[in-house]
């Protein structure tokens, strides 16, 4: 049976682990040829190997999403490899340091901004340029967060950057809707990934405290976000654009 992104070329950033790896595997399962991109080459190649082992098609291209030259070249190399680009999942992100605003360093604020927000801007910019050059429909999804919709104590720099992702998503959706380019975001709640493990390691009390706020009684797992991102990229979501889809086990319903 054909998958929901059968024959499409999909690009996933931050795909060396966590949510990005799960999404890359789901894109491949659903029939896409996948460009796995990340800063980390070894773990990125591992994602490629997992996809190939399961019978899919994938290739690794290294890219730092905060650098315009890297992102432009990522899109160009994707087209060199697979002939076109149909879907992009802009997922690379960092947690930075969690502090109150008056203790947040300028470096921490800049780091969050560069990777989490400017990285998404650069990806959208060069992906849209490619869709327009191909004169074809395209679908872009970026990973925001529930921290892109509500405030969160001790996470001002991250919250600001993720709110920026939601704003970029709405604007891009409006600018390119008539070109058949759909632009959406996913807003994960708390998901068990290497990022979350790092945060719990740095602050052991955090895990129980956060679990107490989960209506479903557990944290999410990466495929629960990947499934949403791939669906938003698929033609099944053909009337969905400018949307920031919450996938959080009910956390923001309270
Ligand atoms: P992760 O740390 O497991 O994965 C993030 C990936 O991004 C890593 O492989 C890392 O190497 C890559 N990356 C970091 N900086 C990069 C850069 N400059 N260029 C290219 N790649 C880079 O984290 P995750 O939890 O899987 O996070 C994925 C996305 O989901 C992030 O945008 C994160 O902010 C977001 N998110 C995560 C959660 C959560 O609870 N885990 C919740 C909401 C949103």
**pLDDT over 90 at 109, yes or no:** yes
Surface-to-core class of residue 135, CB atoms within 10 Å of its CB (0-12 exposed, 13-18 middle, 19+ buried): exposed
Ligand 1 centroid from CA 116, angstroms:
9
Taking the CA of residue 66 as reference, the ligand 1 atom at the shortest distance is 18
Surface-to-core class of residue 55, CB atoms within 10 Å of its CB (0-12 exposed, 13-18 middle, 19+ buried): exposed
Ligand 1 centroid from CA 216, angstroms:
23
Cβ within 8 Å of residue 240, ≥6 positions away? 182, 184, 232
Instruction: Give the pLDDT of residue 237.
Output: 98
Ligand 1 centroid from CA 14, angstroms:
6
Which residue has its alpha carbon closest to ligand 1 atom 36?
145
Catalytic residue positions, numbered: 158
Residue among 75, 86, 242 nearest 168 (CA): 242
CA distances from 34 to 16, 65, 74, 122, 250 (A): 13, 17, 13, 20, 31
**Rounded mean pLDDT, 68-94:** 98
Query: What structural domains does the chain harbor?
Result: 9-191+225-244 (3.40.50.720)
Instruction: Give the pLDDT of residue 63.
Output: 98
Instruction: Give the pLDDT of residue 100.
Output: 96
pLDDT tens by residue, 167-181: 999 999 999 999 999
Record the pTM: 0.98
**Pocket, ligand 1, Cβ cutoff 6 A:** 13-14, 16-20, 38-40, 63-66, 91-94, 115, 119, 143, 145, 188, 190-191, 193-196
Continuous H helices in 182-221: 194-202, 206-211
Which residue has its alpha carbon closest to ligand 1 atom 10?
14
Which pair of structure tokens corresponds to residue 67? 């650098």
């Amino acid at each position: 049976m054909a998958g929901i992104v059968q024959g499409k070329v999909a690009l996933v950033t931050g795909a060396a682990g966590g949510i990005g790896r799960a999404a890359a595997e789901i894109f491949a399962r659903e029939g896409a040829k996948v460009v796995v991109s990340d800063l980390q080459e070894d773990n990125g190649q591992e994602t490629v190997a997992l996809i190939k082992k399961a019978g899919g098609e994938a290739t690794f291209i290294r890219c730092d999403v905060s650098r315009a030259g890297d992102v432009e070249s990522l899109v160009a190399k994707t087209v060199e490899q697979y002939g076109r680009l149909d879907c992009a999942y802009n997922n690379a992100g960092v947690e930075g340091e969690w502090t109150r605003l008056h203790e947040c360093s300028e470096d921490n604020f800049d780091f969050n901004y560069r990777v989490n927000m400017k990285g998404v801007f650069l990806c959208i910019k060069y992906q849209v340029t490619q869709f327009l050059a191909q004169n074809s429909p395209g679908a872009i999804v970026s990973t925001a967060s529930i921290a892109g919709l509500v405030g969160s104590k001790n996470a001002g720099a991250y919250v600001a950057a993720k709110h920026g992702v939601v704003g970029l998503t709405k604007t891009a959706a409006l600018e390119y809707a008539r070109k058949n380019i759909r632009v959406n975001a996913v807003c994960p709640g708390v998901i068990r990934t290497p990022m979350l493990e790092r945060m719990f390691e740095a602050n052991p009390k955090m895990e129980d405290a956060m679990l107490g706020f989960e209506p479903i009684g557990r944290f999410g797992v990466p495929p629960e976000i990947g499934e949403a991102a791939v669906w938003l990229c698929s033609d099944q979501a053909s009337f969905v654009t400018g949307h920031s889809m919450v996938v959080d086990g009910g956390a923001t319903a309270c």
